[in-house]
Structure 1
Amino acid sequence: MTTVSSIGRRSSAPTVTSPIKPILRKSTSSVLGTRARSDDSDGADEDAPPAKRQKKTVAFNEELNMIKEISGKSLEDAKREVRQALEGHARGDDEDYDLLKDLFAPTGKQLTPDEEDEEEDEDGEAPKPQDLMVYVVALTGSVPLLGRSCSGLLRSVLRCSWLERDESFARAYIQLLAALSSVQGPLFAQVLTMIVGKFTETRHTSAVAGFAPVDPETKKKWLHVGLKYLLELFPAGQHMILNLVSTKFPYTEESKAVHMEYIDHLLRLKDARPELERDIMELILSRLVKLDVEMTLDLENDDDETTRAVLRQLEASDAKNDDDDDDSDADSVLSDDDDLTEQAKRVLMIKSKLETMDAILDLLFSIYNPVFEDPETPEAVEVFQDMLSDFSNVILPHLKSRHTQYLLFKFAMKSNQLMEMFIGTLFNLAFESNRAPVVKQAAVAYLASFTARGAHVQSEQVQMITKTFLGYIDHYRASHTNCRGPDVRRYSQYYAYFQGLLYIFCFRWRDLIDRDLLPPSLDWDDPASFIGQDLPWMAGLKSTLQANIGSKLNPLKCCSPVIVDEFARLSHHLRLMYIYPQIEKNKSVHLSQFFTGSYATGGALRDTGFEFDDEKWAHLEACFPFDPFQLPVARRWLDLQNSYVSWQPMAVLDGLEEEDDEEEENGEEDGEEEGFVEDTATDEEEGGM
């Protein structure tokens, strides 16, 4: 026999001065005169026998229960009434059965702070709490009599407002749930579904007539006392609960308050069942990534005015300091308010998603931060390994994620060991042959972005990563000598590495210089002092870039023009190479001529909505995951001053470029500073292709 000593406890019976009438009618030995089954009855077979007792039942321990006699009615009398109601229902007499169902009808209501005060002042003439509790106890002992024909009663029991009552009722009700769960598997699934369904219903104080108002914390406590108890009794329920919490997770359109309430319940479940921690944290992270991607796409698809409006809304929210109990402005978006334009509704919806994402990420930072106070501990290393696993499975595949990955960035900056673990993971993902191309390209973007933006990435590490990239693109070029011309679809992996190289150079070009060979006159901390100097670049950088830029793969044509232009400026003024002639020549190269099949005729492009004459779609997207962090609340966790490399364009270049423009106008620029071999697609085109 399984007892419920973990939740029940001995308590004296409540004192009641006047008896009450039985809630159910007194039964008779005859069924004559009873009313027929109503149209809204359970609809099960009237001749179906009561359910057989199962092999395993959870017995109700009367010694541990606090209910012996209530309002003059003994527990035995209540048990007899409940049993007669169930037996009568099995015979087709539903009068007592329907009354029993009505007893459990939900009656709780949410209260505002003002209503709480009024509720406490009422004289309490409503039905007493014990009127229902005695039948909860009695029904617990009669659970084996509940057959399939009692589904209506079971639905009513599971809809009962049990969290809005007192502690004694909560304990008795939890024991009823345990007894129901022992009867059959589907009932256990319904019980767990009911509990998870309440994860978004506990953030307000609520009350039932005759009970004092119950605050959110108390409701959460008893909800998880019951859930923990059920999972201890039925360990197989862990798989069911994971599926349920994933299915019931709030939609992205739900408010921040709803999301945070739900996640709070998930974290309580994690604390109660540590074996579920990895699954729960991965679930939270995956939904955060989904929000992150949706918000990024929303802002990309809208015009600049919408983006500015969202930022204004966020600033207004920060000024008001809205508390967590207030629903997001998205609630007004979802309403049928005719005063709001479609753009205003969209602005508020995007703002709501951004606030939700900001709050969730801020919470995750607060959870992980204490673990990494000492990043060298075995616990910190183990947790970071788990984070790397979640990164590989959840974050990396979604290159549109803009903020979630900063969890890895922040804590990787904590120590050289963690940073090397992150870089090593990215290398494995980028170079393993069995990885999908899209995963490899995403890993390359992450590796280049982390190298460029991570202030604690040492010069030796920057050079090692750069050499690896140089080796890859040169091997790729040598292996594709039959290349007809630039094709971002066919050679996307190559262009991803080349673009990553350009991006690293733009941020970390000083780390690609042999410091031991620098003239003493140069000031390392003054980038402008390097302009116009003959610098000792790391071995292989200049020659490899030249060979690839001049190849038929023509990477400058396919990489993002923004990155190419910035690289051209810096490499020219730092005397690495002069690539403007190649950029000019590329203007006459039409990428469409190198596509085959339906792409050659433009059919596939028209099918996907692309304009055939617009080649912007053929450029590799400039998507680097550690671009500036924009969330206003969560950014407090990032040490952007010391651990993040911000883009700082050199103003001195503007003056130099003005001089270059004047020289070009006077015909003094001959464009032959570098003179690398030109075997590009342009030459083939001129040769009659």
Structure 2
Amino acid sequence: MVSVITSSVSQSKMLTSPAPILKTSKLKTTGVKRKMSEMEELSLSPPSSVASDASDGAPSPKKRARVQFEPNVEMRQLPLPRDEMVKSAAVVREEVRRAIQRHISGTDSEAYDRVKEIFSADPKQTNTNNSNEDHHHSYNLPSHTTLKHHLMGLLANVASLDRSCNGLVNAVLNSDWLGRDESYIKLYIRFLGNLAAAQGTYLGSVLKMLVGYLAEVPRATGKLPGYPLVRLSDIYTRTHMALRYVIQLIPAGSGALSPILSMQFPFETDSAKTNIAYTRNLVKIITYAPELQADILALITEKIVKVDVQIQVDMEDFEEEIDEDVLHDAAGEDEDDADADADADDNASVMSDDSVDDDTKRIRTIKDNICKLDGMIDVLFEYYSPPFTTGTLADKENALDLLLSHFQSIILPTYRSRHTQFLLFHFSQTSPILVDRFATTCVQLIFSKLQPGIIRQSAAAYLASFVARGAHVSGEVVRDVFDLLGMHLTNLRTDYEATCRGPDLRRYGPFYSTAQALLYIFCFRWRDLTTAATEGATLDEDEDMEPVTFPPAIKEVLFNAITSKLNPLKVCSPAIVAEFARIAHHLDFIYAYSIIETNKKLRVSSFRSLAAFADPRFSQVERETRAGDDLGYQLDAYFPFDPYQLPRSRRWLEGDYVEWRGIPGLDDDDEEDEDDDEGDEGDEGDEDEDDLGESESDFDD
């Protein structure tokens, strides 16, 4: 049909052309006949004047050419070739430059708004229409080439994108870019770097946008129409590529990134997958931004400790409902794309199901937190492992120094942390030198009078638990630590005893925490404290232990402390006191049952009133924050390296742990009843025996 119209128009032009045309060309009869035959084939009748003019020569200037159209012919507009529809990069670059300049000058923002709409368009809208209707609804969406040319135009004019162009810049930053092809990804990353370098005010926005893709990624990010599927792992890789480019291009990039990483950390209520993915990506940032190592690891440790504490609080409320099945069900899974989508659906359905009772929801929350904690700690174990397994001694010491700094600033001051500290427990045992480093750090904290009492008390618990439970802690280290703590206990007893009127946890806290540490070490490592072990002999746990002797200094330290007016057996945890009394009596070390029986009739409140009478500062006795019972005058049976239960990360601790070993001749069925009678020394209201209990089996709960 186009050819028909063209032919008719050509004839019309020829008939109405000026006379000079006829002087330079003549119509051939054969040409006219050919055109006539073509028109007949297309059912178009030629104007009558065409034939006569062709034979006579010149057309009459007064006659107007007449064109007749067949009324039944379908009229259609044929599309132009694609190369003609898309403007060249140079043309687009110039258009973008003019649009930005006119917008900045305030003369015209229409072209500027059109550029902004190109990046604001949602490419996923084409999926909502049928294929036969796409050309009606999606023609306004920019093509890949159009989008790329406009981004190139912005890159060429990045120096002009000041604050007045904030809307356009935000449209580009919020556009769908991660699901496109590699060439566009590289161009987009170049734009981010040049934008942040040329316009420093956008650096924070660029980094915040990139960090936002390190945790939970929208499900459709890697599924743009017309592009191959981009997997979640590739999305993370592209995001890290952009982050690396920006912070290496801009000197201030790392400093600006650190607070954003903290601010963008997933909330505690977010799913386990979200927190684990973000933790993994934070650790990966260290590989190309080593200057952020300390900040990133401290941030992760702080978040892990918070989750760890919350789990302990929740599990205490649901002790009967939480069992081994919960731990196994909470084992983490790999972050596959399909699994991530399914997990998002499952998590949404769980949280939005109003038919589930509150207790069931809380148990599900505990399971998710256990999975979250397990996965995040496992990431840290993986990160710290290489320097301790294949690194030099200097590498090991540097890594341990980093762990120790986080231990003192984050882990140690936090009560009820149950699992995070096992990073130190495991890696400190990889070398005898590192064992000494960790033990020395705890000893210094215990001895330092500049430290708050609560920190000194926690350090004593950590040291005692490390020495008692560490399988790679040698007998020599056990004896050295016991001697140091024994000397410290003697010095404290000498200082306090002169003014002591009775047991008082608030006034003599360092003494009681040190005494409890020694009792705990004795219960687990008494074999390493015997005279035979001191002389280099090894005791077989299956053979008869009698007679067993101990160096006089060990017995003297504990005996003098137990029989002093400070009366540590009244203040120390009843569970630990009971187990110490049982073992010490069997080994003929110290007979403590007489003191325990006397303490049952002793009320600490009377000594509080005497202390208040002697010193008005103690007239209001506050509850000790670390006390484990309702009365507030007894130490909690908190030892940080109690058995590790997380299902995935527990593999790192294989071979590191000293399990409770029975005592030949004592741990049998015939003496269980006697243990119940003699070991129950608790006062009225004492219920804090659930952590360690009254028998040896409770030490591994």
TM-score (norm 1): 0.76
How far is the alpha carbon of 1:600 from its aligned partner?
Answer: 8.2
Q: Deviations over 1:83-112 (max 9, x none)?
A: 2355146426433332222221263669xx
Displacement of 1:404? 1.7
Q: Give the superposition deviation at 1:616.
A: 4.1
What residue in structure 2 maps to residue 503 of structure 1? 520
Count residues with an aligned counterpart.
580
Match of 2:689 in 1: none
Q: CA deviation at 1:516?
A: 7.0
Partner of 1:634: 649
- Contact kept? 1:361, 1:634, Cα under 8 Å: yes
The one-letter amino acid of 1:417's match is: I
* Structure 2 residue 486 is the aligned partner of structure 1 residue 479: no
Specify the alignment match of 1:53 in structure 2. none
**AA at the equivalent of 1:473:** L
What's 1:263 paired with?
Answer: 279
Aligned to 2:37: none
* Residue number among 470, 475, 496 corresponding to 1:459 in the alignment: 475
**Which residue does 1:346 correspond to in 2?**
362
Identical-pair percentage: 35
Give me the whole-angstrom Cα distance separating, in 2, the residues matched to 1:319 and 1:98.
Answer: 47
For the aligned residue pairs, the C-alpha RMSD in angstroms reads: 3.6
CA–CA distance in structure 1, aligned partners of residues 421 and 103 of structure 2: 62
Matched residues in 1 for 2:405 and 2:164: separation? 48
Residues 455 and 232 of structure 1: is their aligned pair in 2 closer, same or farther, counting only changes over 3 Å? closer
Distance 1:98 1:467, change over 3 A: same
Please name the residue that 1:150 is paired with.
165
Query: Contact 2:374–2:647 at 8 Å: present in 1 too?
Result: yes
- Partner AA of 1:340 in structure 2: V
Task: Judge which range, 125-134 or 491-500, deviates more.
Answer: 125-134
Q: Bigger CA drift: 380-389 or 419-428?
A: 380-389
Residue equivalent to 1:245: 261
Aligned to 1:411: 427
Aligned partners of 2:542 and 2:664 also within 8 Å: no
Partner of 1:590: 603
SS of match in other structure, 1:135: helix
Cα gap change, 1:406 to 1:470, in 2 (>3 Å): same
Are positions 1:96 and 2:160 aligned together? Answer: no
TM superposition shift of 1:364: 2.2
Amino acid across the alignment from 2:248: E
Write out per-residue CA displacement over residues 180-202 of structure 1, whole angstroms, 9 at most, x where no aligned residue.
21344321111111111121244
Distance 1:107 1:288 in 2: 38
- Whole-Å Cα distance in 2 between the matches of residues 604 and 406 of structure 1? 32
8 Å Cα contact 1:128-1:210 kept in structure 2: no
- Structure-to-structure mapping, 1:525-604, within 5 angstroms: 525-526=540-541, 529-530=544-545, 533-595=546-608
Aligned match for 1:512, one of 525, 529, 534: 529
- 2: distance between equivalents of 1:333 and 1:602? 51
**In 2: Cα distance, 1:320 partner to 1:195 partner:** 25
Cα distance in 2 for partners of 1:581, 1:172 equals 82
Which residue of structure 2 aligns with residue 217 of structure 1?
A: 233
Question: Matches of 2:335 and 2:208 in 1, distance apart?
Answer: 32
Aligned to 1:133: 148
1:170-569, aligned counterparts within 5 Å? 170-202=185-217, 206-300=222-316, 302-308=317-323, 311-316=324-329, 325=340, 326-327=342-343, 331-332=347-348, 335-374=351-390, 377-480=393-496, 481-515=498-532, 524-526=539-541, 529-530=544-545, 533-569=546-582
Q: Provide, for residues 635-666 of structure 1, a one-character-per-residue CA deviation record: whole Å limited to 9, x for no partner.
A: 112223xx3111234474355647969999xx
CA apart distance, 1:315: 2.9
Residue 468 of structure 1 deviates from its aligned partner by: 1.3
> Is the Cα–Cα contact under 8 Å of residues 376 and 415 in structure 1 kept in the other structure?
no
8 Å CA contact 2:93, 2:156 repeated in 1: no
Q: Which has the higher helix share?
A: 2
CA contact (8 A) 1:594 1:600 kept: no
**Aligned-pair distance for 1:159?**
0.6
Separation (CA, whole Å) in 2 of partners of 1:258 and 1:286: 17
* CA–CA separation in structure 1 for the residues paired with 2:494 and 2:621: 33
The answer to whether the 8 Å contact 2:192/2:206 transfers is yes
User: Do the aligned residues in 2 keep the contact of 1:109 with 1:208 (CA within 8 Å)?
Assistant: yes
Q: Give the match's secondary structure for 2:632.
A: helix
| CA–CA separation in structure 1 for the residues paired with 2:619 and 2:123 | 66
2:161 matches 1:161: no
After TM superposition, give the deviation of residue 437 of structure 1 in Å: 2.2
Contact kept? 1:107, 1:208, Cα under 8 Å = no
- Indicate if the aligned counterparts of 2:280 and 2:379 stay in contact, CA closer than 8 A: no
Give 1:234 shift: 1.1
Deviation string, structure 1 residues 405-456 (Cα, Å, up to 9, x no partner)? 2222222222212212222222222223322322222211111001111122
Amino acid aligned to 1:571:
A
CA radius of gyration, larger in: 2
Pair 1:161–1:462, CA change in 2 (3 A): same
User: 1 CA distance for matches of 2:603 and 2:122?
Assistant: 71
**Distance across 2 between alignment mates of 1:82 and 1:625:** 64
CA displacement, residues 600-627 of structure 1 (integer Å, 9 cap, x when unaligned): 888967x99x99xx75432111111111
Report the Cα distance in structure 2 between the residues aligned to 1:261 and 1:516, rounded to whole angstroms.
Answer: 49
Q: 1:602 to 1:184 in 2, by over 3 A?
A: same
SS at match of 1:241: helix
Runs of 5+ consecutive residues of structure 2 not aligned to the other structure: 1-79, 679-701
CA contact (8 A) 2:492 2:511 kept: yes
Relative to 1, partners in 2 of residues 1:354 and 1:238: Cα closer, same or farther, differing over 3 Å?
same
Shift of the 146–441 alpha-carbon distance from structure 1 to 2, 3 Å rule, reads: same
Q: 1:374 to 1:207 in 2, by over 3 A?
A: closer
| Aligned-partner Cα distance in 2 for 1:658–1:566 | 13
SS of the aligned residue for 2:120 comes to coil
Q: How does 1:659-678 map to 2 (within 5 A)?
A: none
Tell me: CA distance 1:512–1:661, structure 2 relative to 1, closer, same or farther (3 Å).
closer
Shift of 1:471: 1.2
Of stretches 593-602 and 480-489 in structure 1, the one that deviates more from structure 2 is 593-602
- What's the counterpart of residue 12 of structure 1? none
Check the 8 A contact 1:329/1:352 in 2, yes or no.
Answer: no
1:75 aligned residue: 90
